Chains A and B, each alone.
Chain A
Amino acid sequence: MDRRDSIKSIMLGSIGLGVLLEGCVSGVGSEEVKKAISKFKYGRTKIEIEYDNRLFSRKCFSDNEMKTIKEVCNLILPPNEFGSIEEAEVPELIEFMAKDIPSYETPIKKGLLNLDQISKSMYQKSFVECDENQQKFFLDDMAYPDLELSNSDQKDEVQWFSLMRNLTMTGYYTSRVGIEELGYKGNTPNIWDGVPQDVLDQYGLSYDKNWLDKCVDQSKRNEIAKWDEKGNLIS
């Protein structure tokens, strides 16, 4: 991520749920931790590996909570021909982020609890046991924020659902299947030689000659640069 992108995502994703911490539910077996750690090789320092290790060795959500998370994520983004929440490992990301950003943990748990409470009081069963129409009935009530209010002034369940939607969307679209579905074409060696002509045409734009004269001739990119004494490129 470059500097601008990170600022952009911080600004677009301003989720301010500052609630008290509760402890994670339990520890995780050392074999599982080893497996998790070896799965992610992304240029870490020793201190960073130790930190990730600590997060992997705790479990934040109970199996029941995890089931509800999966159910909710699947309602937010149902599977299609490209992939599913499970393939995109969205629940695993939510489990990880709830430890990496500790202020996420309590509100997520509270929201899950709330979901079960309302479904039990209405249908005498847990959220995951409800049918899709019943589930959507609950979600409709929390899925649309009041645009006049800032996120922190929204009702608790609206804030919760916004967080779940954000985590689901970002989890899916940063996964292998989600990136493919989006159609992102970068992160691969290539030669940038300007906006494709059909795209320029679409917007009625063109490169002006003066500007193009300053731009790289990609057929000569491998010739070693030489200049005259006035700084004009001559190779």
Chain B
Amino acid sequence: MQIKETSKEYDVVIVGSGAGGGMATKILSESGLSIAIVEAGPYFDPANPDQMTQMKWPYESPRRGAGTRRPFGDFDQAYGGWEIEGEPYTQKGDTNFRWFRSRMLGGRTNHWGRISLRFGPDDFKKKSKDGLGEDWPIGYEDIKPYYDKVDKLIGVFGSKENLYNDPDGFFLPAPKPRLHELFYIKGTRKSNVKVMPSRLSILTKRINDERGVCFYCRQCARSCSVYADFSSGSCLIFPAQKSGGQIDMYVNSMVRSITTDEEGKATGVSFINKEDKTEYKIKGKVVILAASACSSARILLNSKSKQHPNGLGNSSDIVGKYLHDSTGGGRMAFLPELVNRKIYNEDGVGGMHVYSPWWLDNKNLNFPRGYHIEVWGGMGGPSYGTGFDVNYLNKFFGIKVGGYGDMLRTDMRKYYGSVLGMDGRGESIAMKSNYCEIDPEKVDEFGVPVLRFNYKWSNHEINQVKHMQDTFEEIIHNMGAIPLGNKPGKDSNHGLTKPGEIIHEVGTTRMGNDPKTSVVNQFEQLHDASNVFIVDAGPFVSQADKNPTWTIMALAWRTSDYIIDQFQKQNF
């Protein structure tokens, strides 16, 4: 194959444009460094009418918004999913890891839940508490100034609660709870479960003149056209371009590997342009991987050379190991009080207005680590699936289920907005035996060797999800609701989701002081090559019961400051 090389050498080549890549782009470009972003998907701007899905009605889609093409529905802004044509991955043994990828500028930040939680002081030192996993080489005090800066730059609503392990930040005011959320508050209080305003990166108040303020359409998953929610493109990359950053964007460009020189230092990246199927090389003094935990591990493992025979950064054999996703469990419920409720606009923001952070001490429990509870429900916009099993809830009133005719209209109206649900998202234990590696026998459509996964949940996670299920049931009863479906039992691991399904996969290039047991140092710099950094969730030592995005960005900012400092010291 012909390989085309460009003569220009960038200061920094960044692979991937999601939360980590976007943050690195913003901070590094504003310091005057020249940047190349290499993104596997197309350019995307939520304000572009040709790409926009916000405020569309279901009938504007021929499938009424069904999730047959985009897994979270036609209007969701993730180009990709768990399966992408031409980009397979494989499993070892009976593993069923589900790898979600979003191929577009901004990556998964265009559709994510905007749940923006800081890790707390305990979250960095869990091994010291329960002996499992590993401590981070840094603590909350190292990252706190960056969390503060991220809060102010991007905006997150929430409330001061003075909880030790759920630290407060610089919050915008929270939206008032919806009706079903008031019932949830009632239920949790009766169950002694902590409940408080959620913390989402959505602008309930103006933070600057460039971005709009939330107009409450509940459609953050469609990426906001007035930039009132956080997406990497609209909040980091576009502003960086506007303020005069030297940024070149290589879109539809799938990185194969990092190129290295005789001394083993990175010289740039090699990528395949999806349009002309040609391989290109671009040069950079520094290479930053921000391709997502598994993609970055794959690139490193595919970057073999004389100096790095086991893959770049992999002298420890740790690249790909300690892969872990959040645990997940959920339950739906029917709230009879809400039958025939008054209809008004209760869209609100794109997500819950209230949630429950982890509230217990594991000392008294048969599992380590906690989980938080998310709640959903209300009078959402109709979409494909609305009206399915329209009068199934009749069974709770001893009325016949099924039928046809005008009575179905009454049933539709009667039950609209009366169902709600809870989801637990918990911390799993990072284990060496859960990993991704290169499948020696398979390549993708670009000829790049693909990942193979090996992953097994342990009793820690299974017991944790059983606890979730018991808690859901208790809260449901205490709010006056009826749980729907059967409670998932032992045979289904109590409803524990498949690894990867919560889309919080982290840990594949973990951080540490010892090059024998970790891939990067506390500045997310490869132990094996000083001009390669990783700013996605790969460096996470442990997951916490928090969503990873806010920590990805705080660390990416900290790493970017370090890179700027090293440039000033002429170390690259």
- Specify which chain B residues have a CB less than 8 angstroms from the CB of A8 in the assembled complex: 332, 376, 385, 419, 421
- Specify which chain A residues have a CB less than 8 angstroms from the CB of B395 in the assembled complex: 147
Verify A231–B160 contact, CB threshold 8 A: yes
Q: Which of A41, A178, A202, A215 has most B Cβ within 10 Å? A: A215
- Specify which chain B residues have a CB less than 8 angstroms from the CB of A196 in the assembled complex: 342, 344
Any B CB within 8 A of the CB of A19: no
Verify A173–B72 contact, CB threshold 8 A: no
Nearest chain B CB to A17 CB, angstrom units? 13
The interface size bin for chain A is 35 or more
- Specify which chain B residues have a CB less than 8 angstroms from the CB of A143 in the assembled complex: 402-404
In the complex, which of the residues A186, A189, A215 contacts B175, with contact meaning CB atoms closer than 8 Å?
A215
Q: A48-B69, A78-B405, A195-B182 are in contact. Are A185 and B345 (CB under 8 A)?
A: yes
Any B CB within 8 A of the CB of A207: yes
- Specify which chain B residues have a CB less than 8 angstroms from the CB of A26 in the assembled complex: none
Verify B173–A144 contact, CB threshold 8 A: no
Nearest chain B CB to A44 CB, angstrom units? 9
A175-224 residues with Cβ-Cβ distance < 8 A to B are: 175-176, 178-179, 181-196, 198-200, 202-203, 205, 207, 211-212, 214-217, 220-224
Closest residue to A142 on the B side, CB-wise? B402
Verify B171–A233 contact, CB threshold 8 A: yes
- Specify which chain B residues have a CB less than 8 angstroms from the CB of A216 in the assembled complex: 157, 172-176, 204-205
Verify B206–A179 contact, CB threshold 8 A: no
Chain A binder among B121-129, B131-139, B207-215, B294-302: B207-215
Any A CB within 8 A of the CB of B249: no
Cα-based distance from A211 to B390 in the complex (angstroms): 35
Q: Which of A9, A11, A43 has most B Cβ within 10 Å? A: A43
Nearest chain A CB to B277 CB, angstrom units? 15
- Judged by DSSP, the binding face of B is loop
B367-392 to A contact mask, C-beta < 8 Å, 1/0: 00000000011011111111111101
Q: A12-B385, A202-B342, A233-B173 are in contact. Are A170 and B351 (CB under 8 A)?
A: no
Cα-based distance from A178 to B416 in the complex (angstroms): 13
Any B CB within 8 A of the CB of A139: yes
Cα-based distance from A207 to B458 in the complex (angstroms): 42
Verify A223–B205 contact, CB threshold 8 A: yes
- Specify which chain B residues have a CB less than 8 angstroms from the CB of A232 in the assembled complex: 160
A14-60 residues with Cβ-Cβ distance < 8 A to B are: 15, 36, 40-43, 45, 48, 51-52, 55-56
Any B CB within 8 A of the CB of A169: yes
Cα-based distance from A174 to B197 in the complex (angstroms): 31
- Specify which chain B residues have a CB less than 8 angstroms from the CB of A52 in the assembled complex: 62
Any B CB within 8 A of the CB of A137: no
B389-426 to A contact mask, C-beta < 8 Å, 1/0: 11010010000111111101100110010010101000
Cα-based distance from A200 to B75 in the complex (angstroms): 32
Any B CB within 8 A of the CB of A76: yes
Total of A-B residue pairs, C-beta within 8 Å: 309
Q: A2-B380, A195-B178, A216-B175 are in contact. Are A182 and B413 (CB under 8 A)?
A: yes
Cα-based distance from A198 to B160 in the complex (angstroms): 30
Chain A binder among B47-55, B507-515, B558-566: B47-55
Q: Which of A12, A48, A203 has most B Cβ within 10 Å? A: A12
Cα-based distance from A8 to B331 in the complex (angstroms): 10
B223-265 residues with Cβ-Cβ distance < 8 A to A are: none
Cα-based distance from A183 to B177 in the complex (angstroms): 22
Closest residue to A214 on the B side, CB-wise? B159
Nearest chain B CB to A93 CB, angstrom units? 6
- Specify which chain A residues have a CB less than 8 angstroms from the CB of B485 in the assembled complex: 11
- Specify which chain A residues have a CB less than 8 angstroms from the CB of B386 in the assembled complex: 9, 169-170, 173-174
Q: Which of B55, B330, B344 has most A Cβ within 10 Å? A: B344
The interface size bin for chain B is 35 or more
Any A CB within 8 A of the CB of B168: yes
Verify B215–A12 contact, CB threshold 8 A: no
- Specify which chain B residues have a CB less than 8 angstroms from the CB of A100 in the assembled complex: 63, 66, 68-69
- Specify which chain B residues have a CB less than 8 angstroms from the CB of A169 in the assembled complex: 386-388, 390, 408, 412
Verify A76–B176 contact, CB threshold 8 A: no
Closest residue to B77 on the A side, CB-wise? A43
Closest residue to A5 on the B side, CB-wise? B380
- Specify which chain A residues have a CB less than 8 angstroms from the CB of B170 in the assembled complex: 227, 231
In the complex, which of the residues A6, A78, A165, A170 contacts B72, with contact meaning CB atoms closer than 8 Å?
A6
Known: A170-B385, A173-B386, A225-B155. 11 other contacts (CB 8 A): A1-B384, A6-B385, A13-B389, A15-B388, A42-B53, A143-B404, A165-B404, A184-B343, A187-B217, A216-B172, A231-B171
Q: What are 11 residue pairs bridging A and B, where the CB atoms are less than 8 Å apart in the complex?
A: A56-B62, A93-B62, A169-B388, A170-B387, A187-B55, A187-B57, A189-B215, A199-B342, A202-B342, A214-B197, A222-B213
